[in-house]
Every structure is written in structure tokens, then in C-alpha cells.
Amino acid sequence: MTDDSHRTRRAILRTSATVAGAGLIAGCTSDGNGNGDGNGNGNGDTESGNGDNSGNGNGSSESYSVTMEPVGTVEFDSVPETWAANNGSWADMGIALGQQPPEAVYLTDRYHTQYYDEIPDVSVDKSEIDALWDDELDPEEFIELSEQVDVFVMDPNFLINRGDWDQDDIDQIESMGAPFFGNSIFSRDYGWHDYEFLTLYEAFEKLAEVFQEQERYEAFASLHDGFQDEVEAIVPPEDERPDVAIVWPAGDDTFYPYTIDEGTSYKQWRDLGVGDALSEAGVSDFTDDRGTIDYENLLEIDPDVLVLRGPSNESLSDEEFQNQVVAEMENHNVASDLTAVQNGDVYRGGPLYQGPIANLVLTERAARDLYGVDEELFDRQEVSDIVNGNF
């Protein structure tokens, strides 16, 4: 497709409202602890990707608008066909809505497509997705990408506050015809995020409006309601639930601490009713002061359960994690004294970013780890049917 023909179907007419741009420089950084996986070859049950364009919204020729903070009201004259996303939250939502995979994400190792291995006929080949974040997020790269995509599904305020960006950069990129549409939903600890926060499914519903896939969203929301009932049924009484410490390895026996907030990053832990060992001990979240803790600090807190985040850990199987990561702790002169290590309660902690499919997989995994749940809590085939338009 030529650039001219691509521009004739540009989704954006105009974007109203400006983007707030003040605040601290914050966000997640690449830790070099692995590059994720590379599984999958395409997405869904068609040769070129998932989705069937069977009248669930794609193909509408009428203009429409979608409103969400902080981007305001964005008007589209056709449904976006190509897109870029932040990482695994909005990207996973798009896949759940039957879309082709995004052309690019910030960091491909933060988009954990291996979770799709749980779902029949759903896969994403990350080798076909570009990474936008090398040493930094470069506005020039976004300008070039705007020739290929119809919408940037990411929060412009994150770009302004995480990198060396300003509002002029956002405006210049949008002037090329691809608007920004996103809200940083994974954490609620950023001081610059002074506008409305959205839950996972509130954000999911907004993206469904962008892609005109409201029927798919409703089917997924209904599935999720049943899933929540299953989860509530297996959560033990409050006095029997563990206190959990969530950390990210920082090297040299140190860790970035993460306290459980209302962001989508922690949805499975909230739904499983766990206690927050780090918050209860007065430890600040990593995004607050970029601080670290070590094994001595963890031993003072001595959580019931220790969970480790990070791409390198998420790329491991349960067995590999136990044989490599946990075994090293068992042989460490301080870590070996942790109650969680002695009781075999050290687990993978899930990613910073999760969308609706990943959340199902991760919540069920955490329920198995924490509460010994053996049964499946959601129907894999039903998820596949929704993604592939068979509902």
C-alpha cells in the first residue's frame, strides 16, 4: 500500500483537548534480564492473523468519536487497521478484540505473548513487532512509524514524563495523522498521573469503541464476570490469606520493591485477597523513589510469600524457575532463612503490564501457587472463540 493510499483511510480527523505534561520523570526501565520469548506465528485462525471482520464492528465507514482522559475526544473517520501499543496491557486488549498484532510496542520483552500458549488458535509472533525503546524513546522514530499506523494506543503523558519529550513532540506526531489514545493504567503511583484512572475493563471497553468491537468486549466482560465468581469461591477467609512481597531483581542481591495498588498490574493479587507485606512494613514503591531493598531487608519483613517479577523470570517455566532461581535462594546464606524460601513459597510475580487474556492466565496461575487450586478457572476455548469471532 502506498503512503498516499494509506493516508486516505487515516482514522483520525482531529484530537481535542491538550495533554498534561508536568510531573516527575518516572516509569519502568529495561533491566536487561532477558528478552522474553519468540513464540507463535501469527495470531488467531487465519493465515495473516486473528479476527474475522464478520460484522462485529470492523469495516464501518461512518465516523465516530471516543472520549477518554487524558487524550480527550478523538474522532475517527474509519476503524483503525494498524496500530502501535505501549506494552502488554493495551496490546493484549487489542488481541482480545480480534485485531492484528500491533506494529510496535515499547519493549517486546515486556509483552509476554507466551500466555497465549494457553489459548487454542491464538498466537502472536513477536519477531514481527518492532521495539520502540532502545536507549530512549525517540520522537523521530514515532514520526516515522506514523506513516505505518493509524493510532498510537499509549498514554502521551507517559512519554512526556518518562522521556525527554514535550507537548510539541506529541502535536507533531499527531499532525502526521495518527492520534494517541491511552491512559497509564498499570500503576497508580506516578505523581504526574493526576487525571482519571481506569480499571482494566474500563480501559478495555474504551479500546473496544476505538476498534468498534463492542460485541467482542461484551462477550469478554461476561466471561470475566463468571471468572470472578470462580476466583471468589476459592479465596480463603481473610485470616488464612498470605502476606505477599512483590519484587523485581535489580542485581547483586538487591530488588526493586512493588507495593500493591489499584493499578491493573496488581489485579490478580487484589482479586486473590493477599496482604501486602512491603506496604505493611512501610516500604515505598519503586516508582516513588526508585529505591531498592536487599535480602536483609526482606528477612526483617519475612513475608509469607515472595514473588519475583521481570522478563527473565516470566520466560521460565515453573520447573525452570524452581531449579534456577529458587535453588539459588536456598543456597544463599541470607535468603535461605526467609520463611517463603524455607516453605517453598517463592513464585513468578507476573509482568507490569497485563490485559484481559494475560490476567486470566496469571490469576489462575497465582491461585494455583498460593491456594493450591488445581482446576481451570476459565474456559480456554471460550476465550479463543471470542478472539476469533466465533461467539
Q: Which residue has the higher pLDDT, 98 or 291?
A: 98
* Other Cβ atoms closer than 10 A to 264: 29
Q: Residues 60-96: pLDDT tens digits?
A: 568 999 999 999 999 999 999 999 999 899 999 999 9
Mean pLDDT, residues 10-30 = 34
Q: How many helices, marked H, and strands, marked E, lie in the chain? A: 17, 13
Looking at every residue in the chain, the average pLDDT score rounds to 86
Residues 75, 68: contact at Cβ < 8 Å? no
Q: What is the dihedral of CA 218, 221, 222, 225, to 10 degrees?
A: -160
In this prediction, residues 179-206 reach a mean pLDDT of 94
Rounded (to 5) percent helix, strand, coil in the chain: 40, 15, 45
pLDDT at residue 290 in the model: 81
Q: What are phi and psi of 208, to 5 degrees?
A: -60, -35
Going by pLDDT thresholds of 50, 70 and 90, the confidence category of residue 135 is confident
Q: Which CATH superfamily is domain 234-383 in?
A: Nitrogenase molybdenum iron protein domain (3.40.50.1980)
Cell of 232: 471468589
> Domain 3-224 carries which CATH code?
3.40.50.1980
Share of the chain above pLDDT 70, in %: 84
Question: pTM value?
Answer: 0.85
377-389, pLDDT tens digit by residue?
999 999 999 999 9
Whole-angstrom distance, CA of residue 16 vs CA of residue 115: 36
Full DSSP string of 179-223? -B-----S-S--TT--S----HHHHHHHHHHHTT-HHHHHHHHHH
Q: Which residue has the higher pLDDT, 57 or 250?
A: 250
Question: What pLDDT score was predicted for residue 61?
Answer: 63
Task: Write out the three cell numbers for 114.
Answer: 507466551
Confidence of residue 326 (pLDDT cuts 50, 70, 90): very high
In the chain, which segments carry CATH 3.40.50.1980? 3-224, 234-383
pLDDT in tens, 258-286: 999 999 999 999 999 999 999 999 999 88
Q: Are 293 and 335 in contact (CB under 8 A)?
A: no
